[in-house]
Structure 1
Amino acid sequence: MDLTKFQALSFDCYGTLIDWESGLAAVLSPWARSEGLSLSDEELLLAYSTHEAAVEAETFRLYPDVLAEAFRRTGAQLGRPVSAEWAARLGASVPDWPAFPDSTDALARLASRYQLIILSNVHRAGFAGSNKWLRGDFAAIITAEDVGGYKPAENHFRALDTTLDSLGIERSGLLHVAQSLFHDHVPARREGLPSVWINRRRDKPGWGATPQPSGDFSYDLEFGSMGEFADAAV
């Protein structure tokens, strides 16, 4: 693939640019210890993974409420009720989730050649907090709050079509960049978008906090980090 033929890059944020698994584990792990559960971070993330996607597929609610409800359902699965305080703590944690060490520099380099677009399953305030870490120069930011739905549903991608029109970019000039096969590469294939897989879990077994893909997916290139991708694209 000739990466220089693209004019814009759309990014998933959480899992790709922001280390959402570390952010989740920073709350799930101390909760588990307080409940006397001897579970590793990976075991907790696996228990949590399907609940967030299930909540997102139901009636729309803002992402902090998604996090809180998914946490409560995780606790029920593990036989430990989650208090309102713990649920609220996870719901409010998004701005504290760390950026991957290579994200800020990679975004700055990519912005010198491409227009950058965020396509994220969070709320506006959550992403604003995350961008204090990323310091990204984004031409457009599309959140779940903006579109009233969560990937892998089509809402983000219909908004993306409108955004591309407003930026004067043909759909053929867009490349989607994401970690999650479930949230991003399944719909990218459905939408006919070329995509790059940032395989942040390359050295880890299993799916972590992300559900296993529930549909057909494909990607055109794979990199282990944003730094590797920026090296190839700029």
Structure 2
Amino acid sequence: MTNPRPHHRYYDLLLASFVVVLLCSNFIGAGKAAEVDLPYFGKVVFGAGILFFPISYFFGDILTEVYGYSYDRRAVWAGFAALAFAAIMAQIAIALPVAPGSYMASYQQGMEVVFGNSWRVVLASMTAFWFGSFANSYVLAKLKVWTEGRFLWLRTIGSTAVGELIDSSLFYVLAFYGIWPINEVIAVALAQYILKTSWEVLATPLTYQVVSYLKRKENQDYYDIHTNFTPFRLKV
């Protein structure tokens, strides 16, 4: 007789929140380029989604820290599937014949601008998310075991630094190499990496509060000592 799967009061809510943030940051924020004037860097152009995409790493850190790598792995695959479905749905909706009228013609143009990203950009985004998220979760899980559960700030910031480095590097190289000058690809990727990682540093006090609350309410503080870290499974 196998042991029943433990019931977690908040896991499903965190999973749904993770997927919502991921979809919104990729399909709403990514369509707008914004500009900010930073010390030492000057004016930096970035996608508006950068302000919100790091929240997915915030959820990933919490899921791994409280429930373990396997639960975050399931969340990553759920997010990946949601991104794939949204990308396919967007392309189908854009390709459907447009009804007569100036309003629908204008609406079609808006859809093409916001959701008509090239497949190269879409695939780059999904690939970068997949590798970056799994790297983030793996590093955090390993650091938790090595530090014996101490230095939460080190685990969350360190894992995010690794995950975001992989994410930013892969996305901009896969999406824009050969289109933008290589020095521009590197400069933009570096700026995005700094912005994303800085978000995690600023969110550290909130991370402590949420993690502490969930561990207490769920009576759960998982250590990935005997975990199978292959990303290619859904079992928890």
Q: Same fold (TM over 0.5)?
A: no
Kindly name which structure, 1 or 2, has the bigger radius of gyration based on alpha carbons. Answer: 2
Task: Name the one with the larger strand percent.
Answer: 1
Task: Name the one with the larger helix percent.
Answer: 2
TM-score class normalised by the smaller sequence = under 0.3
